[in-house]
Amino acid sequence: MESYSSIQFHRTLLTDAVRTRAYQKSIARVVSPGNVVLDLGSGSGVLAMFACQAGAARVYAVERTDVILAAQRLVQANGMADRIQFLHGDAEVVRLPEKVDVIVSELISKAVLGQRMGPLLRAAKKRFLKPRGKVLPQSVELCIAPIEASEKYSLLEFPPSAAYGIDFSGLRDLAFNNTESGRFRARNLLAPPQTAYRFEAQESKRPVAKRRLSFVIRRKAVLHGFCAWFSAILYPGITVNTAPPGLPSWDNLFFPVLRPVELAPGTTIELDLKGTETPDGVIWHWETVVKGPRGISSRYTQSTFSGSSISRQTVARNSLKYKPLRSRWGEIEQSILRLSDGTRNLREIASQLCLRYGKEFQSQRSAETAVRGILNDLAIKGALDTKPDP
């Protein structure tokens, strides 16, 4: 996720002309002269600048990573600094001084889920959008189809035990319970795609990313998994579609099956797909049932949860029955936050830490490093009051 702060990541987005022009055209239609606009997840600030080109009176550009500094420079150089106000922080904690007419954002992951576009836009609409305000994108669908992809599939394999005399099958199970990014060819799709999930900006309820799909295969082939992408309607008539091989900004997402399955014409493949967004990413579950003329030939139940080597402690910690007990390090964090009352600088806070927690901090320098790290994390979560740069 931290790549969001890298200029290289934003360069890829900006040089993707299909993506960026589609946004520019849609923003030109959705923003009317004099509008107040929110750019949610502003990155380089490009959408905020498109809103200014469309005549926006003011734009609030919210971005949680330090790329905001580059965006500010860019906006200044383009003469739009008087109309774009940057807010450095998480979209869920920032406050705006007024309601907006339009919210624009590009928080679309390769299989829709991943950047919490749904929850972030729903919350932003509730908090910041005027009653008849507009949201861009309008809708985003997760498209998925079964695929023959022997090359990609073989890249996921571990060495056979003959190679080193070691059995790697335990790792194989972990690997195949994971999704993989990849670029695929349309001709390798085994059936027309179907929609597994649809985000609608105008809907305020949380849509459930859970769907049972059924595909009929018309030719002899081998099933290696499923290929997912998205199709977004930014504005009526303006779409971005990342069908194989995708666009420079988005490749496709591959859901492998546990073992390749030989398919005869007329075979049915049923797929139960469920995606759950968490603050740390998406948990995908996919169950595949292959039905030939003589009944079910294969059934695989896979999930990124099984593939993630999550420790028992992590699982227990996410249960609502869990009674958390603060650790010594938690106490240190709490002390740092308490000492951050606007009267002490970092050096003074670090000196206090050395006095109070001499066992943990044997030098002023180690305390200073810890204070910096902890306060940076807390600032991103909105725990520090932000004053304008000195």
Ligand X SMILES: C[S@@+](CC[C@H](N)C(=O)[O-])C[C@H]1O[C@@H](n2cnc3c(N)ncnc32)[C@H](O)[C@@H]1O
Q: Is 120 in the site for ligand X (CB under 6 A)?
A: yes
CA 133 vs. chain centroid, Å, equals 25
Show Cβ contacts of residue 389 under 8 Å, excluding neighbours closer than 6 positions: none
Q: Is 44 in the site for ligand X (CB under 6 A)?
A: yes
Which region, judged by CB under 6 A, interacts with ligand X, from 39-47, 234-242, 264-272, 367-375? 39-47
Return the residue matching tokens 């030719």: 219
Q: Is 13 in the site for ligand X (CB under 6 A)?
A: yes
Contacting ligand X within 79-108 (CB under 6 A): 90-91, 106-107
What whole-number distance in Å separates Cα of residue 60 and Cα of residue 317? 36
**Residue 234 C-beta: closest distance to ligand X, Å:** 11
Q: Is 24 in the site for ligand X (CB under 6 A)?
A: no
Structural contact between residues 275 and 198, judged by C-beta atoms closer than 8 angstroms: no
Which region, judged by CB under 6 A, interacts with ligand X, from 36-44, 122-130, 360-368, 371-379? 36-44
Task: State which residue, 91 or 269, has the beta carbon closest to ligand X.
Answer: 91
**Residue 382 C-beta: closest distance to ligand X, Å:** 10
- Residue 312 φ/ψ, nearest 5 degrees: -60, -35
Task: State which residue, 40 or 149, has the beta carbon closest to ligand X.
Answer: 40
Alpha-helix residue ranges (DSSP H) falling in 54-166: 67-77, 117-128, 150-155, 161-164
Q: Which of 24, 115, 242, 252 binds ligand X (CB under 6 A)?
A: 115
Structural contact between residues 29 and 102, judged by C-beta atoms closer than 8 angstroms: no
Task: State which residue, 292 or 382, has the beta carbon closest to ligand X.
Answer: 382
Q: Is 113 in the site for ligand X (CB under 6 A)?
A: no
Of 82, 85, 77, 121, nearest to 386 (Cα)? 85
Amino acid at 21: R
Q: Is 64 in the site for ligand X (CB under 6 A)?
A: yes
**Residue 347 C-beta: closest distance to ligand X, Å:** 30
- The residues that touch ligand X, with contacts defined as CB under 6 A, are 4, 13, 41-44, 46-47, 62-65, 67, 90-91, 106-107, 115, 120
